[in-house]
Structure 1
Amino acid sequence: MTTEHGGHSAPANATEYIKHHLQHLQTSDGMFNLDTFWVSAILGAIFLGVFYMASRRATAGVPGKLQNFVELVMELVNDTVNSAFHAKSAVIAPLAITIFVWVWLMNAMDFLPVDLLPKALEFFGVYNLRVVPTADANLTFALSLSVLLCIFGFSIKAKGLGGYAKELFTAPFHATGFAAILLAPVNFLLQMVELFAKPVSLALRLFGNMYAGELIFILIALLPWWAQWLLGGPWAIFHILIVTLQAFVFMALTVVYLALAVEKH
């Protein structure tokens, strides 16, 4: 039996329940996902606030729990950066830390009970809400395209605009003379395929894993309460690994791509 909530119908069956939880809160024209924007923005603000607080409270003596946690995260990211990125850059480490922590926070929204925030916001007249920003392909592609812009920026800074343009037409086949002219279009085509395959793979990998995780939690929510505890607990524990791994992979591949961008080919 369908129940009414302020003119909106509650899901009548499993199919409607799934569709309801996969529906974004959008602008009136349906062109912009407001839930993705606001959840990601709030999580970004939380990240900045916590790390700023940790920096203000940092001490050379016995560190507190917050300082220990932040230093652990920074050490993990710095080890990854130092092992993959050998050029000098004041940007790469902060960028890597931002990517890892922000993506992890967005992924971790999957741990909230499926109906918790949607039901809470119904009291304020909000009837559609998806709380996992990285389960939205729009956000994952926005992140990956930002990485692409960083690749362009790092490449031009390291090689100059002319040097980078020359590389696009001369690598990977470093021919000379007339052969270089003939192979220039082939080199450029291969460079474009390699260049744009990076953000596509970054975006789809993150989106696919988080969308699948979100859908499994929705399906578990349809089960009887005892089955939810029986299956939801182990899946949540396993999902901790997925959430962390996907954030780390996105960060690590970004560092690798930027390291390749500053190398001369």
Structure 2
Amino acid sequence: MSIVAAAPTDYTAPGVEEFWQPLIGDGAWAITRPMFLMALSVLAISIWLLVTTRKKALVPSKGQMGTEAVYGLVRNGVAKDLIGSHEFMRFVPLLFTMFVLILVNNLFGVIPPMSYPTMSRIGFPIALALIVWIVFHVVGMKKHGFFGYWKSLVPSGLPKGMIVPIFILELITDLFTRPVTLALRLFGNMFAGHILMVLFITGGWYMLTSGGILVVAGGVTWVFAFVMTLFELLVEFLQAYVFTLLAALYIAGAVADEH
């Protein structure tokens, strides 16, 4: 007799439906779980910033020290290094806001009871990428002029026969490739990481409750789920950092004197 004969057969692997979780209503106008979590993250970040900066001191508290460390990472490690000391300060609020917002919403994926990375819904990364896209084009045209900004897409000294193809390629990159890849990179990592974690956790539970040798396999699977969670924490931080880094890089290219 098979030792797994009593195992249930109703396990369904997680799919894209895991990411559509309406709370109020249905269809395109539904209030969904990721919408609620995004609003919750804005509230939590606002409270955190108010509490940790309300009584600033020369000898900072742990909360103030943590806020200053995150701010310093974005201000000095991203904005100043990439955009330059003359231009960077006016972009720090935007970059700091994006980094913290993305990081908190990513971390929701491993924090109960949220257990959902908001950026795994493609609409949120697209909205953030569009903001970056608008900002770096607007500041570039404001500094170099409308025609000067677009003319600078073509490097000087090119043969006449290469000017049009290069201009078209650079135009596609600036208008399409940059915002699309910026959004898809964040979305793809959060989507894939979350669905893998759900697969390991639910699959492990299925095997643990199946009896027989599957109990051992279920235990091993849950160990992998724990390892995956630790790895996902790293990915969530890195994706927030990479998104902010690329946003600063695009802005730096738009305002550079040699653009």
TM-score, normalised to structure 1, is: 0.77
Structure 1 residue 37, shift from structure 2 partner: 2.5
CA distance in 2, matches of 1:34, 1:174: 53
Structure 1 residue 187, shift from structure 2 partner: 4.3
* Aligned residues: CA RMSD: 2.6
Three-state SS of the structure 2 residue aligned to 1:212 is: helix
**Alignment map for 1:64-213 (pairs within 5 Å):** 64-78=61-75, 79-86=77-84, 87-113=86-112, 116=113, 131-168=116-153, 171-172=154-155, 174=157, 179=160, 185-195=164-174, 196-213=176-193
Q: Which amino acid aligns with 2:246?
A: L
CA distance 1:232–1:29, change in 2 (3 Å): closer
The runs of 5 or more residues in structure 2 that have no matched partner are 1-8, 209-218
The equivalent of 1:7 in structure 2 is: none
The equivalent of 1:3 in structure 2 is: none
CA distance in 2, matches of 1:139, 1:206: 10
Between stretches 94-103 and 226-235, larger displacement belongs to 226-235
State whether structure 2 residue 240 is matched by structure 1 residue 247: yes
Three-state SS of the structure 1 residue aligned to 2:73 is: helix
CA distance in 2, matches of 1:241, 1:258: 26
State whether structure 2 residue 48 is matched by structure 1 residue 50: yes
Q: Which amino acid aligns with 2:199?
A: L
CA distance 1:14–1:199, change in 2 (3 Å): farther
CA distance in 1, matches of 2:244, 2:223: 33
The equivalent of 1:236 in structure 2 is: 229
For these two proteins, the number of residue pairs brought into alignment is 233
Alpha carbons 2:116, 2:194 under 8 Å: kept: no
Q: Name the % identity.
A: 26
The runs of 5 or more residues in structure 1 that have no matched partner are 1-11, 118-129
Between stretches 85-94 and 209-218, larger displacement belongs to 85-94
Three-state SS of the structure 2 residue aligned to 1:59 is: coil
Alpha carbons 1:173, 1:187 under 8 Å: kept: no
CA distance in 2, matches of 1:94, 1:219: 38
Structure 1 residue 81, shift from structure 2 partner: 1.5
